[in-house]
Amino acid sequence: MISDRGNSILPIQKEETLLVEKKAKKYKKLFEKVAVNRNPVAINGKNYYQIVYMNRQGETKGGAIISPKEEVESEVHDIHFTLSVYNALILSFYDGGIERANVPDKYFTLPLRMMEESSSTELEEGKEKIARLYELHLEHKRVFQETLARMRSTFVVTASDLKYVMETAAALDLVHFEMLEIMTRDIPVIKDWVERMKLSGLWKQLDRETQRFYEYMIKDIHVTKKNLSTKPPLVGSTKEEVMANKLKVSWEHNEKMEKNYRKRLRWPKPW
C-alpha cells in the first residue's frame, strides 16, 4: 500500500516505493498492513522512506525507515527528524485543514451583500464580525491551497520543506485561533445579528444552508469553547513575537513527537 493521499507520483517514486514496501514486509506482523509514505529524505545518494505498520482497524502498531538501497543506521539517525515530522505535519495539515478550506464562501458573501444593500445600521456590529470571519476564511483557504500544491509537487523532502510546513501550520493555527475567538467571545453579537436579520426580513432571503451555518455556530458554542480551551495561549505583544513563540512551542512538540516515533521503530532499533 503506497500512501500518496490520492496524488499522482513520479515513475521513480512508484518504483522505489514498491521496492521499499517489499523490503518492509520483513518486519510486518500477522494481519498487519504496510503503508509507505510518499516523500523520502535523501542522504549520501539514498532515499529513505517512512514505513507505517497498521492493524485491521487502521491503528498504527509500529514503523520502520527503509531505503531502496542498502540502509545505514547512522544515516537514519541523521534524517529521522525531518522525515517523520514532515510526514506527520502534512497528514495533520491536510486532515485538519481540508474541511475548513471547503466551507462555502456564500456563508459569508450572501449576508454581507444583503447588508450592503440594506440601510439598517442595527446590523453593523454583526456585519463587522462576519466580514472578519470571511477575511480569515479566505486567508485559510489561500494558504491551504498554496501549501497543498507545494506538497503535491514535492518528491524528496529537505529541511527547508519541513521549515516551510512548520511555519505554514503555525500561521494557519493563528488564523484558526482568531476564528474560534470570534465564534465564542462574539456569539452574543452574532445571536443579536440573527434576530435583527429576522426582524428586517433579510434572514428569510438567505438559503437554508447559510441559515444553518449561523444557527449551529450559536448552538454549538460549548463545543467551540472546548476546542479553544485546548489551544495554548498566544504569547507576545506583536504579530512577529506571537509567531516566534508559536514556532518555539511547535518545535518542542515536534521533538517530543519524533522521540515517540523512534520508540515504535522495528528498523533500525530505537535509539
Are 114 and 15 in a shared domain?
Answer: no
Are 210 and 121 in a shared domain?
Answer: yes
**pLDDT tens figures, 257-269:** 999 999 999 999 9
Model pTM score: 0.88
Q: Which of 97, 94, 96 is nearest to 37 (CA)?
A: 94
Q: Where are the beta strands (DSSP E) in 67-122?
A: none
State residue 1's pLDDT score: 38
5 pLDDT more than 50: no
Q: Is 152 part of a structural domain of the chain?
A: yes
Are 147 and 58 in a shared domain?
Answer: no
Are 22 and 67 in a shared domain?
Answer: yes
Are 58 and 107 in a shared domain?
Answer: no
Q: Is 245 part of a structural domain of the chain?
A: no
- Return the percentage of the chain with pLDDT > 90, whole number: 88
State residue 174's pLDDT score: 94
Range of the domain at 118: 103-230
Average pLDDT of every residue of the chain: 93
State residue 3's pLDDT score: 43
Are 131 and 72 in a shared domain?
Answer: no
Q: Is 12 part of a structural domain of the chain?
A: yes
State residue 150's pLDDT score: 93
Q: Is 264 part of a structural domain of the chain?
A: no
11 pLDDT more than 90: no
What phi and psi values does residue 41 have, to the nearest 5 degrees? -120, 140
State residue 180's pLDDT score: 97
Are 149 and 220 in a shared domain?
Answer: yes
- How are beta strands 60-66 and 41-43 bridged, if at all? unpaired
4 pLDDT more than 90: no
Q: Is 242 part of a structural domain of the chain?
A: no
